[in-house]
Amino acid sequence: MIEVIDSHTAGEPTRCVLSGGPHLGLGSMADRLEKLRSKHDIYRRAILSEPRGSDVLVGALLLEPVDPAAAAGVIFFNNAGYLGMCGHGMIGVAATLAYLGRIGVGEHLFETPVGQVRASLAENGDVTVGNVDAYRHRAHVQVEIPGHGVLYGDVAWGGNWFFLIEEHPFCLCLDRVDQLTEFTWKVRQALAANRITGADGAEIDHIELFSPAIDPRNHSRNFVLCPGKAYDRSPCGTGTSAKMACLAAAGKLSPGQQWRQEGILGTVFTGSILRDGDRIIPFIRGSAHVTAVSSLIFQEADPFRDGIPAPAGLKA
């Protein structure tokens, strides 16, 4: 039996694993992620895959932190593998811990596999995440997409690796999701085929399209394809971090200036950056709502006890 709490952040679900997960030792979150990946990946599949979960669900395994000042350690994962950080997921984690009475209003430290982040809980329940450093790795990178010709995008880090495309022929509308998913999946495949990567050869596993916002109060609208071929229902916290890093590198976003990022559902994350020398520290504000408190049960006779395997080709 595994105890979980589900929530959604701007429409994107998070499943926090409170207890019943594997013992991963007391090393760093990066070390524990590798142990989870190499020795206990069955837990990820069983928790998130059908019939208990879905392709869009993101897991957050809550762990004892290394630093006693931290509220928790967190490992994020999805239907295809593991995430370095997850902005919507961290907002969901903070909202879940507040629901349980484990944290209160104020700032809280969390450990992730890619570094420490901070989450500030406001009186109204909003959460502001101070993310890991973000940066633009390469600008205006050319890639040819079969059936679509040559397009250009930026490669940026916001806690995960992104390829960000501003100029494209698509309407970022909910009724075009199938078309957008097909196109962005082709982009990801083209990046891999052309050996276009993040730093140190890291795979770019998130594709982000932008267009003008529908709501005039917002600055931009996005569509984000996640590693397991599911699209992000929220405006994507790490994607918004990557976007702001690109804007800052281009001299289009100043420290403290707000950036309102609209997602495919019309929900919004409010972002800003802080500069510390050459470092760009992104901040993302949003809210999450708890939707279920559950016990996941694993019966020996269940033929899908360990989850239904993902289709071939969806390995992160």
Residues designated as active site: 86, 236
- Hey, what are 142's tokens? 């050319």
Rg (CA), the chain: 19
CA-to-CA distance for 126 and 202, rounded, in angstroms? 33
Q: 60 and 14 in contact (C-beta within 8 Å)?
A: yes
Task: Report how far apart, in Å, the C-alpha atoms of 133 and of each of 84, 100, 145, 150, 278 are.
Answer: 12, 29, 30, 30, 10
Pairing relationship of beta strands 220-225 and 259-262 according to DSSP bridges: parallel
**Beta strands at 72-77 and 106-112: parallel, antiparallel or unpaired:** parallel
User: By CB neighbour count within 10 A (0-12 exposed, 13-18 middle, 19+ buried), where does 313 fall?
Assistant: exposed
Q: Are 183 and 170 in contact (CB under 8 A)?
A: yes
Rounded Cα distance between 173 and 110, Å, is 34
Q: Which two tokens stand for residue 235?
A: 């405006």
Q: Which has the closest alpha carbon to 130: 259, 280, 247?
A: 280
Residue 176 φ/ψ, nearest 5 degrees: -110, 15
**DSSP designation for 230:** P
How many residues comprise the chain? 316
